[in-house]
Amino acid sequence: MVRILFIALLILPALSISTCYSQDNKLIAVDSWVTNHDRSALFQEQTDTVVFSPKNNAWGTPIVIDDAQQFQLIDGFGFALTGGSAQLISKMSPAARTNLIKELFSSNGNNIGVSYIRLSIGASDLNSFVYSYSDLKPDETDYDLKKFSLSQDLKDVIPVMKEILSVNPNIKILGSPWSAPVWMKTNNNIRGGALKKECYGVYAQYFVKYIQAMKNEGIAIDAITVQNEPLNSKNTPSMQWYYTEQADFIKNYLGPAFIKAGISTKIILFDHNCDRIDYPLALLSDPDVAKYSDGTGFHHYGGDISSMSNLHLARPDKNLYFTEQMVTERPGNNVINISAPVKRIIIGVTRNWSKNAILWNLAADPSNDPHTDNGGCSMCQGAVTIDGDNVIRNIAYYTIAHASKFVTPGSVRIASTYPGDKTVSLTDDEEHPGIWRATVIENAQVLPNVAFKTSDGKIVLIVANDSYSINMFRLLYRGKIAGIRLNPGSVGTYIWNADK
Checking 307-314 for CB contacts under 8 A at 24+ apart, the result is 307/274, 307/275, 307/277, 307/352, 308/274, 308/277, 308/349, 308/352, 308/353, 308/354, 309/352, 309/353, 310/277, 311/277, 311/280, 311/281, 312/352, 312/353, 314/281, 314/284
pLDDT grade for 239, boundaries at 50, 70 and 90: very high
pLDDT grade for 58, boundaries at 50, 70 and 90: low
**If we measure between CA atoms, which residue out of 192, 212, 215 comes closest to residue 204?**
212
Question: Which parts of 159-289 are beta strand (E)?
Answer: 172-177, 223-225, 266-273
Measure the CA–CA gap between 197 and 465, rounded to whole angstroms. 51
Measure the CA–CA gap between 91 and 84, rounded to whole angstroms. 11
* pLDDT over 60 (residue 353): yes
Measure the CA–CA gap between 487 and 38, rounded to whole angstroms. 9
* pLDDT over 70 (residue 362): yes
Residue 28 Cα distances to 310, 473, 476, angstroms? 38, 18, 13
Q: What is the mean pLDDT of residues 435-443?
A: 83
**Residue 434 CB: number of other CB atoms within 10 A?**
9
Measure the CA–CA gap between 103 and 401, rounded to whole angstroms. 11
Amino acid residing at 149: S
Q: What is the mean pLDDT of residues 258-284?
A: 98
**Domains of the chain (ranges plus CATH)?**
2-72+413-497 (2.60.40.1180), 75-409 (3.20.20.80)
Measure the CA–CA gap between 190 and 146, rounded to whole angstroms. 21
Q: Tell me, what's the pLDDT at 374?
A: 87
Tens digits of residue pLDDT in 373-410: 988 999 999 999 999 999 999 999 999 999 999 999 99
Q: Tell me, what's the pLDDT at 372?
A: 95
Please give the full DSSP string across 248-261, using - where no structure is assigned: HHIIIIIHHHHHHH
**Residue 70 CB: number of other CB atoms within 10 A?**
13
Burial class of 327 by CB neighbour count within 10 A (0 to 12, 13 to 18, 19+): buried
Residues in the chain: 500
Tens digits of residue pLDDT in 80-129: 999 999 999 999 999 999 999 999 999 999 999 999 999 999 999 999 99
pLDDT grade for 445, boundaries at 50, 70 and 90: confident
Tens digits of residue pLDDT in 215-232: 999 999 999 999 999 999
**If we measure between CA atoms, which residue out of 305, 301, 319 comes closest to residue 232?**
301
**Residue 379 CB: number of other CB atoms within 10 A?**
9
* pLDDT over 50 (residue 2): no
**If we measure between CA atoms, which residue out of 387, 389, 343, 348 comes closest to residue 364?**
387
Phi, psi (deg, nearest 5) at residue 21: -100, 145
> Strand 76-80 vs strand 116-121: parallel, antiparallel, or unpaired?
parallel
Q: Tell me, what's the pLDDT at 440?
A: 85
**If we measure between CA atoms, which residue out of 221, 223, 286 comes closest to residue 252?**
286
Residue 141 Cα distances to 61, 182, 196, angstroms? 65, 10, 12
- The larger pLDDT score, comparing residue 51 to residue 412, is at 412
Please give the full DSSP string across 411-472, using - where no structure is assigned: -EEEEE--TT-EEEEEEE-SSSTT-EEEEEEE-SSPPPEEEEE-TTSEEEEEEE--SSS-EE
* pLDDT over 80 (residue 146): yes
Question: Are the C-beta atoms of 76 and 171 separated by less than 8 Å?
Answer: yes
Percent of the chain surpassing pLDDT 90: 81
> Strand 491-497 vs strand 31-35: parallel, antiparallel, or unpaired?
antiparallel
Burial class of 106 by CB neighbour count within 10 A (0 to 12, 13 to 18, 19+): middle
pLDDT grade for 499, boundaries at 50, 70 and 90: confident
3-state secondary structure of 7: helix
* pLDDT over 90 (residue 469): no
Tens digits of residue pLDDT in 148-176: 999 999 999 999 999 999 999 999 999 99
Q: What is the mean pLDDT of residues 241-249?
A: 97
pTM of the model: 0.93
- The larger pLDDT score, comparing residue 214 to residue 440, is at 214
Tens digits of residue pLDDT in 302-338: 999 999 999 999 999 999 999 999 999 999 999 999 9
- The larger pLDDT score, comparing residue 262 to residue 20, is at 262
> How high is the mean pLDDT of the chain?
92
Residue 450 Cα distances to 347, 353, 480, angstroms? 5, 11, 18
Q: Tell me, what's the pLDDT at 53?
A: 54
Please give the full DSSP string across 269-290, using - where no structure is assigned: EEEEETT-THHHHHHHTSHHHH
Quick one: CA dihedral 216, 218, 220, 225, positive or negative?
negative
